[in-house]
A and B are shown apart, each in its own frame.
Chain A
Amino acid sequence: MVPVQWYLLLAAGIFCIGLFGVLTRNDALYFLMSVELMMNAANINFVAFAWYYSNLTGQVFALFVIALAAAEVAIGIGIILVMYRNFGDIDVTVPTEMRW
């Protein structure tokens, strides 16, 4: 039996990788993938706790998050397409119109 802490450590590690990607990369596609990683870290937590407490709610939640992630990708890809059309680039540091 693997203790639940290891799952949590794994999830924290994956989350930090995703966070690192969001903070350091400029490419919008990398952004999308990093966000996906962070979300799956959360999913691991849900499932781990569901197993630990023998409660199915966490697993149901994980299913919801997967569905949400799919929707998010659809919208994210749409945003990236529009960005490419308007700026000729998918570098997130290029569009800075929405500032002071």
Chain B
Amino acid sequence: MVDAFAYVPAVVLLPFFSFLVALGAGKYLPKGGAFGGIAATAGSFLLSIWIATAVAGGRAYDETLYTWAAGDQFELTFGALIDPLSALMLVIVTLVALLVHVFSLGYMNDEGETGLPRYYAGLGLFTASMLGFVVADNLLMAFMFFELVGLCSYLLIGFHFREPGPPSAAKKAFLVTRFGDYFFLVGVVAVFATFGTAAFAGEGSFPALAEAALAGSGDVWTPGGLGVETWFTVVGLLVLGGVVGKSAQFPLHTWLPDAMEGPTPVSALIHAATMVAAGVYLVARMYGFYALTPTTLAVIAFVGGFTALFAATMGVVKDELKQVLAYSTISQYGYMMLALGAGGYVAAVFHLTTHAFFKALLFLGAGSVIIAMHHNEDMWDMGGLRSKMPVTYYTFLAGSLALAGIFPFAGFWSKDEILYEALVHGLNEPLLLGGYVMGLLAVPVTAFYTFRMVFLTFHGEPRSATARDPEPVRWNVKGPLTVLGSLAVVTGFINMVPVQKVLGLEGIDYLHRWLDNEWGGIEGLSSHHYADIGPYSSGYIAGGEVPTVLVGAAVSLGLALAGLGLAWRLYNVASPTEHTAKLGGIKDVLYNNYYLDELQVWIAYRTEDIAGGSDTFDQGIIDGVVNGVSSVSLAGGSRVRRIQTGLVTQYATMLTLGLIALLVVLGLNGGWFL
């Protein structure tokens, strides 16, 4: 029997090879190297499934594969960690990457784009970096692949580099996420300094050491005699900086809407499975550390809840299909952060899973609409596409129902569980309760903008010539949509906790059992363990667990239906009009994203003095010293060379004088003249 875990590196390396092939030989291959990428991701997908079955067979894997630097204090290594969480994530990432590759055939090749080898190389490297990040067994390796993911997003968002928008959006994405990653890097160094290791799992891993240190045993370094718990909070918040940047949480979310300048399949990959998911995955990966610091958890929950509501309100007024989806992504990742902060580890991973499928679906559906509309993304030019592209319509509808959280689609189950966790844990925690209220308020807004988008795009009368006669799409677009559409309907059934609690059925919360190492896993990396070390206790409303479940689900479903109903009333008419004008001044604020971009630019300009000062210091002092040394040597040289007169008698004189000087010095030292 061949060991599935021996192929863990291959999962990462296959897309990397497709990157090399597309980069080196893409020009000579049919379809610009697309088939290499499809084959590689399909291979990775199959291997991931095999690995997941091995985990389901009761095993796990945590090995150091390569030590690239070793010192007295600690070693820097590459390794692979396969537990239920990373196995699940591998399957999600490879599946979405595979479908995105197939979809790209329709979106890029059939549309006659140029530079396809570059595109497929980027996709391959993107997938490979994300997979490397997922299997990483220590924080430093995770950080390195985290950065690679950021680099790839830069390359792919700026794919259409000849137009003015994409390069600027790519730069923005790179710089804003880099700003967060800067704190992450400091956090990585802090983790090494504190624990001497950055491993995620095992006896000597840093979450285990932190747990021991808080229990009073074990010895960790803290700067300046700081209390252990305070210092852990600081470290947790530093690492969280990278998470906030990558997962587009407030206030570093501004790059994500701009990232819509990239090709639509890339947006699907970024939003569903790679870049943005990386942040949330990182918190889940080191949840054993975060669960120890209540302050960090409260911050995560509050930021997440705030982002969920904040981004949802901006999605309400957008005119472009992909912009609405971009804000929905920010909002949904806010939910995941809320869940993590609320101690709902499983709920967050559950939402990460369902969201990966329905958001990939929505983006690919949007891509299909964009093909049909000849790359016009304005929803006010669409309308009536329902009858012309039924496959896209029904799959998109499934994704929208999931996003809006309508029973029984995938998003309902995961969002409901998040809100439930936030509620029961938040009854004793004011910050958490604040996050819960904001998350709840975001539910009707989400449903509203989602169905505003659906109605404007697919219902009513066509509002432009292209919408009356859209371009047909082929199998390579419909295929991925169908797969994801089915998943968006059924993924929720892997974790029907409310049904279990209400009906008293046992064992249908498969994801809970999966993440609780019920089949297999690594000691200390289970949801059970996280709940034990976490700071929260549960409280219930309406007297008991079952009523709380029912009330919570009923409230969130009712709010979602209310939002849907409002969108139905306003926009499901033959020729809808803009109702946003009724919002008055708020509309402008929302339309301009609360002027946050302007604020960030303003802040950036305020730092001009600091930048100018450092520039002066650099130019004047640092460069001055270097230039001074060279000009002194130059000037000295041009004076001293004058003694080379070319007159041989003068050379002889100098020789003699030198000899005499030498004799005098030696004589004085030797005491001849005394």
Chain A positions within 8 Å of B, measured between CB atoms, are 19, 22-23, 26, 92-93, 95-100
Contact = CB atoms under 8 A, between A and B. Distances in A.
B217 interface: no
Contacts of B656: 19, 23
Contact of A92 (B641, B642, B649): B649
B642 A100 contact: yes
Contact of A97 (B646, B652, B653): B646
Interface string B630-668: 000000000001101111110011001000000000000
Nearest to A99: B646
Nearest to A92: B648
**Interface residue SS majority, chain A:** loop
B642 A93 contact: no
Contacts of B649: 22-23, 26, 92-93
B647 A93 contact: yes
A97 B641 CA distance: 14
Contacts of A96: 645-647
B200 to A, nearest CB: 68
A80 B145 CA distance: 76
Contacts of A99: 644-647
A24 to B, nearest CB: 8
Contacts of B642: 100
Nearest to A96: B646
A8 B324 CA distance: 106
A26 B649 CA distance: 8
A13 B646 CA distance: 29
Contacts of B646: 95-99
Contacts of A93: 647-649
A100 B639 CA distance: 11
Given A93-B647, A95-B646, A100 B653 contact: no
A26 B648 CA distance: 9
A23 B653 contact: yes
A97 B642 CA distance: 13
B641 A100 contact: yes
13 contacts: A22-B652, A23-B649, A26-B649, A92-B648, A93-B647, A93-B648, A96-B645, A97-B646, A99-B644, A99-B645, A99-B646, A100-B641, A100-B642
Nearest to B637: A100
A68 B163 CA distance: 82
Given A23-B656, A99-B647, A100-B642, 12 more contacts: A19-B656, A23-B652, A23-B653, A92-B648, A93-B647, A93-B648, A95-B646, A96-B645, A98-B646, A99-B644, A99-B645, A100-B641
Contacts of B644: 99-100
Contacts of A98: 646
Contacts of B645: 96, 99
A22 B645 CA distance: 17
Nearest to A97: B646
Contacts of B652: 22-23
Interface in B64-88: none
A19 to B, nearest CB: 7
A92 B653 CA distance: 14
Contacts of B641: 100
A26 B647 CA distance: 10
A37 to B, nearest CB: 14
Contacts of A22: 649, 652
A98 B648 CA distance: 10
